[in-house]
Amino acid sequence: MTDEPTTDGRRTADRDFEVDLDDVLEDDEGDEGLFDDLLSGEPIFENKEVLRPSYTPHELPHRKDQINNMATILVAALRGETPSNILIYGKTGTGKTASAKFVSQELEKTSQKYSVPCEVEYINCEVTDTQYRVLAQLANTFIEQNRTFVDSRVEELQDLREAAEDDPSVLEADDENDDHLDFDSPEAVDDYIEELLQEKSEMEDVPMTGWPTDRVYARFFEAVDYVERVAVIMLDEIDKLVEKSGDDTLYNLSRMNSELENSRVSIIGISNDLKFTDFLDPRVKSSLGEEEIVFPPYDANQLRDILQHRSDVAFKQNALSEDVIPLCAAFAAQEHGDARRALDLLRTAGELAERDQSDGVTEEHVRRAQDKIELDRVVEVVRTLPTQSKLVLYAILLLEDNGVHNVNTGEVYNIYKTLCDELDADVLTQRRVTDLISELDMLGIVNAVVVSKGRYGRTKEISLSVPVEETEAVLEADSRLSDIENVTPFVQARFDN
């Protein structure tokens, strides 16, 4: 993918070096090294990283209400109580993940400050998308923590044991600071250490596949409950998990508290899909949705603020012309108020300006960035199509290439069949191909409109919505399709007769 062009935007690989290497090496005056010149010729970015999605900002303008809301609910954890479960909704790029991560960092920070055992476990369910994997990942995280816990406990006890050699009275717990048990003798400490180490040796990791789910769940349950704590489990992209694997995970997690003895579990679910709870078991739905927080789309003014905050750190001073941020904000506001899109645009515009060796980012760079991002999206969508859809799309492309526009399904189907023959691929029915065309339409790759042909009924007229050349290049890069040689004659033959 061309999303991140060249090496960190520094263009070391593709630049023409106008300097003579000998000149540079011979010149030992001053401290200018070989790369100083090249580095200083980069006037656009100060710190590009802050424009990337992986960066968690410390300040989130226009999300104060949502953040305070979350904090008000989660503060219970710091009091050793169980916070209500929270369901967070909003379209992509509305700051859900960034806000939730910010709040959890703050929560963990404060819990350390006051030594309250409270942890947040973050899981991205788009990546970890089955009940098995979610439970296994959680189990292993807690098992790891429990091991660390045992280690530090054992260390304390060993210190205590040593101190007892000189002064046996240290073995009695004092009331003010009774963070250790009362021991009768140094041997009792040894026994306890032994017991802990035995427990530790039994803390076996859950393998990433292979166990029955019951067993994974039991192991997870045991691991969470090993010590007293409040565990906040944050399930990001929770709609993907439910879509892929149903609501069993949520059901299991949401009824755990009635059985846990030492610990408490609270769930934060984050969803891009506002309707996903329709698919949940009513019990899960009411438990998970104890508290709901909505993240509305940003408007253009809010996006401007967000971009302004980031660009102050990301760009060199005066690198942006005045209309750059407003234009990025306006484009992204059309894109359902998506801050991710706004930041992508700004970063890409900066990269284009940099590639041009231009002094600053202009409106023109933003427009080109908008086109580039759109093209990248198309390329990615086409690249990841299943082979059959690629064949259908290729058929439409070939027709277009030969000057045949607004083709109908029958014409596409004929070329498609020829391509399948050529490749020894299975030939789908015309009906299936019609479905695939509708899918391509939904992905924004083709445009299919139903037109009435009077008494001949209705047919679909199909045209391409993507640039021919780039799309063709992506298709031909597919190893299966690259076997097609010289199909043009087939196409032409069809129209000649």
Q: Which of 70, 85, 90, 391 binds ligand ADP (CB under 6 A)?
A: 90
Nearer to Mg ion, 97 or 277 (CB): 97
Give min distance, CB of 124 to Mg ion, in A: 8
Give min distance, CB of 206 to Mg ion, in A: 26
Residue ranges in 23-82 that form contacts with ligand ADP under rule CB under 6 A: 53, 57, 60-63
Chain residue whose CB lies nearest Mg ion: 97
How many other CB atoms are there within 10 angstroms of residue 201's CB atom? 10
**Using rule CB under 6 A, residue 131 touches ligand ADP:** no
Which element (helix H / strand E) includes 263? strand 263-271
Report the alpha-carbon distance of residue 372 to residue 485 in Å, rounded. Answer: 30
Q: Which of 136, 231, 234, 343 binds ligand ADP (CB under 6 A)?
A: 343
Q: Dihedrals φ, ψ of 156, to 5°?
A: -55, -45
Nearer to ligand ADP, 9 or 186 (CB): 9
Residue ranges in 97-116 that form contacts with ligand ADP under rule CB under 6 A: 97-98
3-state class percentages of the chain: helix first, strand second, coil last, to nearest 5: 55, 10, 35
Report the alpha-carbon distance of residue 323 to residue 327 in Å, rounded. Answer: 6
Nearer to ligand ADP, 63 or 417 (CB): 63
**Residue 183 gets which letter from DSSP?**
-
Nearer to ligand ADP, 90 or 350 (CB): 90
Site stretch for Mg ion (CB under 5 A), options 92-100, 182-190, 201-209, 308-316: 92-100
Q: Which does 62 bind (CB under 5 to 8 A by kind): Mg ion, ligand ADP, none?
A: ligand ADP
Report the alpha-carbon distance of residue 394 to residue 41 in Å, rounded. Answer: 44
Site stretch for ligand ADP (CB under 6 A), options 93-101, 186-194, 320-328, 449-457: 93-101
**Using rule CB under 6 A, residue 257 touches ligand ADP:** no
CB 445 within 8 A of CB 382: yes
Residue ranges in 461-490 that form contacts with Mg ion under rule CB under 5 A: none
Site stretch for Mg ion (CB under 5 A), options 67-75, 96-104, 134-142, 348-356: 96-104
In b/e form, how buried is each residue of 313-346, taking b as 16+ CB within 10 angstroms? Answer: ebbeeebbbeebbbbbbebbbebebbbbbbbbbb
Instruction: Please name the residue that has the structure tokens 């910010």.
Output: 102
Q: Which of 136, 232, 306, 366 binds ligand ADP (CB under 6 A)?
A: 306
Q: Which of 94, 271, 277, 409 binds ligand ADP (CB under 6 A)?
A: 94
**Using rule CB under 5 A, residue 97 touches Mg ion:** yes
Long-range contacts of 458-463 (CB under 8 A, 24+ apart): 459/408, 459/409, 459/410, 460/408, 460/409, 460/434, 461/406, 461/407, 461/408, 462/396, 462/406, 462/407, 462/408, 462/409, 462/412, 462/437, 463/400, 463/405, 463/406, 463/407
Give 86's strand partners.
268, 291
Site stretch for ligand ADP (CB under 6 A), options 90-98, 260-268, 350-358, 385-393: 90-98
Q: Which residues bind ligand ADP (CB under 6 A)?
A: 53, 57, 60-63, 90, 92-98, 306, 339-340, 343
